[in-house]
């Protein structure tokens, strides 16, 4: 085995964990049915054995009610222990597992079955092969959609902005020296002139040139 999984029921089983640590292989430890104090003790125990391990946030109910999943604990565990955190899901739908991946879970564990109607404790909370495939594809797509925390316009948005964006234009002819007012300027598409964000700065200023009706106000008109 390339790694060993410690089920939630064995999170407190120190003799088992010590035995597995002797193989010098990574451990994946589920945290269902456990208190935070028990998790802390197990983390300290595993760290003292210099073992590489990952914790899986988990609710050990089959199936798990959506309102008891507490996925917000994933980043909390990550910050508290400074180790990779995953998620072991026993819910009957896909969305929580996708959300967990986007909340920082580095491992997603789900049970798989050939038929949910088969007898067994966890059949109803397991995924059939097609569902499992959909889960993986959905997680990968969500990772792509997550992108980077930088606000920038895409090429498509730039093209849309040119058509749907707004500008300040003259609603009637304006003579040089005339004051801009609500009676001679208005907001219309497309975005080819001064942004409407300057609308109130423009009010009361003198026009520095003659401007025809429907002509776009430009940034120079603010000078």
Q: What is the pLDDT of residues 20-74, one digit of tens each?
A: 999 999 999 999 999 999 999 999 999 999 999 999 999 999 999 999 999 999 9
What order of strands is seen across the sheet that includes strand 53-58? Answer: 4-6, 27-30, 53-58, 85-89, 108-110
Q: Are 172 and 215 in contact, with CB atoms under 8 Å apart?
A: no
Enclosing H/E stretch for 53 = strand 53-58
**Each residue's pLDDT tens digit, 120-177:** 888 889 999 999 999 999 999 999 998 889 999 989 999 998 899 999 999 999 999 9
At 85, which helix (H) or strand (E)?
strand 85-89
CA–CA separation, 22 vs 120, rounded Å? 33
The CATH topology of domain 157-222 is: Type Iii Antifreeze Protein Isoform Hplc 12 (3.90.1210)
CATH number listed for the domain at residues 4-146: 3.20.20.70
- Cβ neighbours of residue 190 closer than 8 Å, sequence gap 6 or more: 162, 163, 164, 165, 166, 167
Which pTM value belongs to this model? 0.80
Domain boundaries, the chain: 4-146, 157-222
Pairing of strands 27-30, 53-58: parallel
Cα–Cα distances in angstroms (integers) from residue 98 to residues 42, 67, 87, 142, 144, in the given order:
27, 16, 10, 7, 12
């Amino acid at each position: 085995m390339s790694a060993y999984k410690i089920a939630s029921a064995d999170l407190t089983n120190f003799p088992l964990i010590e035995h597995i640590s002797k193989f010098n292989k990574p451990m994946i430890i589920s945290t269902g049915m456990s208190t935070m104090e028990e998790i802390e003790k197990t983390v300290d125990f595993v760290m003292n054995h210099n073992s590489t391990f990952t914790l899986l946030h988990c609710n050990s109910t089959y199936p798990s009610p959506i309102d008891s999943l507490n996925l917000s604990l994933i980043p909390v565990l990550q910050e508290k222990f400074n180790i990779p955190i995953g998620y072991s899901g026993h819910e009957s739908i896909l969305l929580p597992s996708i959300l967990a991946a986007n909340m920082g879970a580095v491992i997603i564990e789900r049970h798989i079955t050939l038929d949910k109607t088969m007898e067994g404790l966890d059949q109803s909370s397991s995924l059939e092969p097609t569902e499992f495939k959909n889960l993986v594809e959905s997680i990968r797509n969500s990772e792509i959609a997550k992108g980077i925390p930088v606000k920038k316009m895409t090429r498509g948005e730039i093209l849309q902005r040119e058509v749907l964006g707004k500008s300040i234009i003259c609603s009637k002819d304006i003579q040089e020296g005339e004051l801009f007012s609500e009676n001679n300027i208005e907001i219309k598409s497309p975005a080819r002139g001064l942004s409407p964000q300057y609308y109130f700065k423009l009010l009361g200023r003198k026009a520095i040139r003659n401007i025809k009706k429907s002509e776009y106000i430009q940034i120079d008109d603010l000078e």
